[in-house]
């Protein structure tokens, strides 16, 4: 075990993100004329971990992409309803998509670092894309941010002596934590994670789960997972999605993780979390 979770983090060299509450109100989604989500209301509270669970195809990933304006990038896709970050509509004309995506970061199922770029530069690459890179003469500041982000992501001790090595030289689990560090470096208020451990072995999975626990105080986390044990281990609240033959994906039940797993109100939730379908 590394000291990552016990060593106090150095102060952030740039303004830290502040965990924000994300509220989805009556969200619907379509691909062409095929409606895949309907009437989704969900509050993802500041500084908490919310897990989105449900069988394949019920719209969890689509919902996640709506939360940071990525759904609209799919040709023919459309949506209805509202998404608010601390009360501000992320789809308002006054909020540019690039700003929404900076405040609401995303980590994908498959780790996607730039394979030939150094670990150091990978961490800073999101900032550069947002036009907020460190210019010449600010190498120390950049180094501090790289260290802080890698510590937050639980990767610092494993890479501190090889920051110049290419991102692609890391193991799959390390690459996923590098992607988390890259997402954290832009100081998001919310971090969306789409099945971040599905390609990882159990040890790497546990490491990423520890990372989620460690960052939850500095960023609101929303995670899609098919792993019920993982949802129980990492989340404070859960939302159970379901789609039926002639019914688009919707939330059947939401609540504290303890209630969803130990005292669900809906029989379908009970069946799903106990592995009886899906």
Ligand X SMILES: Nc1ncnc2c1ncn2[C@@H]1O[C@H](COP(=O)(O)OP(=O)(O)OP(=O)(O)O)[C@@H](O)[C@H]1O
- Binding stretches for ligand X (CB under 6 A): 31, 36, 54, 56-62, 74
- Compare residues 10 and 57 and give the one whose CB is closer to ligand X: 57
**Least spacing, CB of residue 56 vs ligand X, in Å:** 3
Closest distance of CB 109 from ligand X, Å: 8
Q: Would you state the structure tokens that stand for residue 215, as one six-digit string? A: 């960052």
For ligand X, the closer CB: 1 or 73: 73
Report H helices in the chain: 60-66, 97-103, 119-129, 139-152, 156-159, 172-185, 202-215, 228-234, 257-262, 267-273
At its nearest, how many Å lie between ligand X and the CB of residue 17? 26
Q: Which is nearer to ligand X, 189 or 195 (CB)?
A: 195
Least distance CB 177 / ligand X (angstroms)? 22
User: To the nearest whole angstrom, how small is the minimum distance from the Cβ of residue 145 to ligand X?
Assistant: 32
The residues, any chain, with a CB within 8 Å of residue 14's CB and separated by 6 or more, are 145, 187
Q: How far is the CB of 36 from ligand X (least distance, A)?
A: 4
Torsion-angle region of residue 32: left (phi > 0), alpha (psi -120 to 50) or beta?
A: left
Order of strands across the sheet that contains 220-224:
88-89, 77-85, 22-31, 34-44, 247-256, 237-244, 49-53, 220-224, 190-194, 104-107
Q: How far is the CB of 253 from ligand X (least distance, A)?
A: 16
Q: Is 11 exposed, middle or buried (0-12, 13-18, 19+ CB in 10 A)?
A: exposed
Q: Which is nearer to ligand X, 111 or 142 (CB)?
A: 111
Give me the torsion for CA of 185, 158, 212, 232, rounded to 10°. 160
């Amino acid at each position: 075990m590394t000291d990552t979770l016990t060593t106090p983090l150095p102060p952030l060299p740039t303004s830290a993100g502040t965990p924000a509450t994300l509220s989805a109100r009556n969200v619907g989604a379509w691909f062409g004329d095929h409606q895949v989500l309907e009437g989704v209301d969900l509050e993802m509270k500041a500084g908490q971990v919310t897990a989105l669970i449900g069988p394949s195809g019920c719209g969890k990933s689509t919902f996640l992409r709506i939360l940071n304006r990525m759904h609209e990038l799919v040709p023919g896709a459309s949506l209805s309803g509202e998404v608010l970050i601390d009360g501000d509509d992320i789809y308002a004309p006054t909020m540019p998509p690039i700003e929404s995506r900076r405040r609401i970061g995303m980590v994908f199922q498959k780790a996607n670092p730039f394979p030939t770029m150094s670990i150091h530069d990978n961490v800073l690459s999101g900032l550069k894309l947002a036009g907020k890179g460190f210019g010449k003469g600010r190498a120390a500041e950049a180094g501090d941010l790289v260290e802080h982000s890698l510590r937050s992501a639980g990767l610092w001790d494993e890479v501190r002596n090889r920051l110049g090595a290419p991102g692609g030289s890391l193991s799959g689990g390390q690459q996923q934590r590098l992607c988390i560090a890259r997402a954290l470096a832009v100081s998001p208020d919310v971090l969306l994670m789409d099945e971040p451990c599905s390609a990882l072995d159990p040890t790497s999975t546990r490491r990423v789960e520890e990372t989620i626990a460690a960052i939850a105080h500095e960023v609101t986390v929303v995670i899609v997972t098919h792993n019920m044990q993982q949802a129980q281990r990492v989340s404070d609240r859960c939302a159970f999605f379901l789609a039926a033959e002639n019914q688009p994906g919707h939330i059947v039940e939401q609540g504290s993780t303890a209630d969803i797993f130990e005292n669900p109100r809906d029989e379908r939730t009970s069946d799903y979390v106990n592995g009886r379908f899906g």
